[in-house]
A and B are shown apart, each in its own frame.
Chain A
């Protein structure tokens, strides 16, 4: 793992990020904007689920907002790679970064759970409670991930 990140750090791409006047700040800005767009979309879907009386009311809304969340997440992943590569081995050893990775894994697992709950057609009453719990967890997890991301620089 260490060797992989060392190789990434030694790549021409990483060198470009380190020496470019505007690419590095641009990647930072894109990372923040994508985080905002992603959280806005996810929060809209989560709040809709928390307030909806039934799945039916929420499904159509979620279907329309979900693509924005997906695109923002892809942009987020891309910009994170641009920020990670130039000092890969250094960031990899940062404890807060590792916490962030774990949180992202949990948050993505929660997304899969929530999607399964929303898409399943059948008796809703029992699953509505779980879906609300998952939606609330989603809000908390993504906020914690944003906090961890900011805190990387302070540890």
Chain B
């Protein structure tokens, strides 16, 4: 089983376009998500992929293409269906709000 461990920023999947910005991610509560890659976009400035976690689809923001490549996370390695271990920061949400439903 190929494991890809990387530092990603995580965001709960939301239908509306969220603002970019590292301040909107909570670095004090890092998360680890495990599962097969459901959807994937490798692109600049940030790619994204979705992984299912606790019954919801999580949108994971990826690094730019050149950084992905230099870290070994090439298009050969990061593919739809590949099992992945993703470590990163969740997007700040209002307290008590659960992960929204809706897959991408």
Contact = CB atoms under 8 A, between A and B. Distances in A.
B45 A86 contact: yes
Given A89-B17, A90-B17, A94-B19, A21 B45 contact: no
B21 interface: yes
A17 B17 CA distance: 21
A21 B17 contact: no
Question: What does DSSP make chain B's interface, helix, strand, loop or mixed?
Answer: loop
B45 A87 contact: yes
Nearest to B44: A24
A125 B22 CA distance: 50
The 4 tightest CB contacts between A and B, nearest first, are: A24-B44, A18-B43, A155-B21, A154-B21
Interface of B: 17, 19-23, 43-45, 64-66, 69
29 contacts: A17-B44, A18-B43, A19-B44, A20-B44, A21-B66, A21-B69, A22-B66, A24-B44, A24-B45, A24-B66, A25-B64, A25-B66, A86-B43, A86-B44, A87-B45, A90-B17, A90-B20, A93-B17, A93-B19, A94-B19, A152-B20, A153-B20, A153-B21, A154-B21, A154-B22, A154-B23, A155-B19, A155-B20, A155-B21
